[in-house]
A and B are shown apart, each in its own frame.
Chain A
Amino acid sequence: MTSFRRTTLGLGVALLVMGLAAPLLPKWALFLVTIAIAKGMVALGLLLLMRTGLVSFGQGLYFAAGAYAAGVGSQALDLGDAVPMVLLGGLTAAAVAAGLGLLLARYRAIFFAMLSLAFSMILYGLLVKTSALGSTDGFNVAARTVFGLPIGSTLGRYGVYALAALCAFGAAVGLDRYLGSYLGRLAPAVRDNELRVEYMGASVRNLVHLNLVIAAAMAGVGGALTALAVGHIDPEMAYWTTSGEFVFVAILSGTASVAAPFAGAVLLELLRSFAYEHAPNTWQLVMGSAMLAVILFLPEGLWSIFRRRRRAAT
């Protein structure tokens, strides 16, 4: 069985389990998983960038762009259903990245990180000052239907959850496919030595640009899903600390598997809800220490624990 088939099968089983578990889960758990999946989408995009050797401290830009596009779309274009809202979010974020990528794709290492941070702070500044979009308060977002089912109905309650799970499944399988393709395999080569890649006739800048757009589209979908799940959006989504949290999830999960960012995000959200209840003032302390421990002792991310064991077994 090829690695791609194995990943698809594994993700399919995960999707099935999530579907079967839905009626058993309490409301808070449904919400938690939905949010975790939405954030996992952003981290999945970061995984692609990290494979290319880039760390973005500005994914909050696309996250917020997706959320605001979904919110504005539902009001201005009168989209009642959640599915087109999420699509709109992803497309808007991708369009933003396609534009900014013309500049961003020329930068590497910390300059890339700083420039992406600057762009996300520009959007934050814009949103805070735009009273039509609610300034610092943001505004409420709600879909009337999901897949045509009214939100209030028995089945509709699981709508956003199901939508998030399907998006995650599609994105993970798609990205896995992409990583195995010609372009996807160029990414680690760019990370190792981009000049050699150019000597072999590939355009590094185009590849980086494309990966930026893909990562942004995922972040946009994640933002739109978050907007639907929470029912509210505010400029804080574009602030650099939000982007830092995505980087945290990506570091925690590592770049080994497309499933890792979702596992990492669920872990983070679980930890957060417990920490908020028991130790609200030491939450960041725990997060920072965990991140340090992972960077120092598990540079490949938490997922590499499974991997090592598998290698030892064979």
Chain B
Amino acid sequence: MSTILAVLVDGVIYASWLFVIATGLTLVYGVMRILNMAHGSLYALGAYAAASLAGAWLRAGWAPMGSYAMLVLAALLVGLVVGPLIERGLLRFCYGRDEVVLVLVTYALFLILEDVIKLVWGVESYFIYEPYGLLGNVEMGALSYPVYSAVLVGAAVLVGVLLRIGIYGTRYGKLLTAVIHDREVSAAMGINVNRVYLVTFTLGTMLAAIGGALTAPTVSVVPGMGVETIVLAFAVVVIGGLGSMQGAALGALIVGLVRSGAVHFFPQVELFSIYLVMALVLAVRPRGLFVAAEARKI
């Protein structure tokens, strides 16, 4: 019984981490048709920035509770600086090209960012454990979980709710939906598509960075941490259906539960269980769970 509970709780914690990252990926794809291979590097950037900022805050001896604000601030900073830089500096020259070409462009960007991170932060690892332990633990039956994990889950729910309100409930969200459906008609109707793209990519970058910043206290921040994250995020969005927000949520839950189930029951298949599920879902629903089949153009 307690094993099942552990699987569920672990799965949900893992899923909320995945959701925050994957939702940025799927947003960027949905609006801009760019499958961003550099998303994992943006996640790593967020983690590094958070480790540096929160680390500096704690070393200065200020109230340790403020380190949480530093985590969020780091993610926002990364989003606001790096997002527009990449969109204006590189991606805008590539709009209208084939989706596969854009995958290659972002793959090149991934290679560049991996080294930029190494150049800025060096190759040693960073630790900021304080925010993780600060809130204490909570007992769930025989198990004990850090409260910080609940913060992670809460953050994921908050991100999901805010995005939903933002997309379906605001004027800007409606403009965004229009651009998703047809870029050219939206432009003809007077929507500033370039600005929508800029905002979307900044938001996507911010989401990746938030994922990284919130993870930073739970892991050691090392070079290459984005490499595995990106393929996990791919699995999530491909399972859910590229460009679908609900799909990202469901995909994250599926991947989270499958992984924690595998960890607890079949540890030898842990690494590839996720990709196995992804391959299985694609075999049955070639475009993912939440995307309808598309008519082919002659």
Which A residues have a C-beta under 8 Å from some C-beta of B?
A: 55, 57, 103, 106-107, 109-111, 113-115, 117-119, 121-126, 128-129, 193, 195-196, 240-241, 244, 247, 251, 281-285, 287-289, 291-292, 295-296, 299
Contacts and interface: CB of A to CB of B under 8 A. Distances in A.
A125 B101 CA distance: 28
B123 interface: yes
A171 to B, nearest CB: 24
B264 to A, nearest CB: 16
25 contacts: A110-B103, A110-B242, A111-B282, A113-B100, A114-B238, A114-B278, A117-B234, A122-B275, A122-B276, A123-B272, A125-B271, A125-B273, A126-B272, A196-B298, A281-B119, A284-B111, A285-B115, A287-B108, A287-B111, A288-B110, A288-B112, A289-B108, A292-B90, A295-B105, A295-B108
B8 to A, nearest CB: 23
Nearest to A287: B111
A103 B280 CA distance: 10
Interface string B244-283: 0000000000000000000000001111110110110011
A289 B282 CA distance: 33
Interface in B114-169: 114-116, 118-119, 123
Contact of A121 (B103, B110, B275): B275
Given A114-B278, A251-B104, A292-B90, 15 more contacts: A55-B104, A114-B238, A114-B282, A119-B275, A119-B279, A122-B272, A122-B279, A125-B275, A195-B296, A195-B297, A284-B115, A289-B112, A291-B107, A296-B94, A299-B101
A281 B115 contact: yes
Interface in B224-240: 227, 231, 234-235, 238
B118 to A, nearest CB: 5
Contacts of A109: 98-100
Contacts of A107: 282, 286
Contacts of A251: 104
User: For chain B, which range describes its interface: under 10, 10 to 19, 20 to 34, or 35 or more residues?
Assistant: 35 or more
Contacts of A114: 35, 234, 238, 278, 282
A284 B271 contact: no
Contacts of A291: 104, 107-108, 111
B296 to A, nearest CB: 6
B109 interface: yes
B115 A283 contact: yes
A301 to B, nearest CB: 12
B103 A55 contact: yes
Contacts of B115: 281-285, 288
B62 interface: no
Contacts of A125: 269-273, 275
B287 interface: yes
Contacts of A110: 35, 99-100, 103, 242
A289 B269 CA distance: 37
Contacts of B90: 292
A283 B235 CA distance: 28
A129 B268 contact: yes
Contacts of B235: 118
B65 to A, nearest CB: 36
A160 to B, nearest CB: 30
A82 to B, nearest CB: 31
Contacts of A299: 101
A295 B234 contact: no
Contact of B271 (A124, A240, A287, A292): A124
Question: Nearest 4 CB-CB pairs, A to B?
Answer: A125-B272, A288-B111, A125-B271, A288-B112
B268 to A, nearest CB: 5
A153 B87 CA distance: 58
Contacts of A123: 272
Given A106-B286, A111-B286, A285-B116, A129 B103 contact: no
Contacts of B109: 288, 292
A115 B282 contact: yes
Contacts of A282: 115, 119
Contacts of A129: 268-269, 271
Contacts of B270: 125
Contacts of B273: 125
A292 to B, nearest CB: 4
A288 B275 CA distance: 27
A111 B287 contact: yes
A281 B105 contact: no
A284 B287 CA distance: 32
Given A106-B286, A285-B116, A288-B108, A121 B238 contact: no
B286 to A, nearest CB: 6
A281 to B, nearest CB: 5
Contacts of B269: 125, 129
B81 to A, nearest CB: 19
Nearest to B109: A288
B112 A295 contact: no
A196 B35 CA distance: 28
A285 B111 contact: yes
B223 to A, nearest CB: 9
A106 B114 CA distance: 33
Contacts of B119: 281-282, 285
B123 A281 contact: yes
B286 A281 contact: no
A239 B278 CA distance: 17
Nearest to A240: B231
Nearest to B279: A118
B101 A295 contact: yes
A187 to B, nearest CB: 15
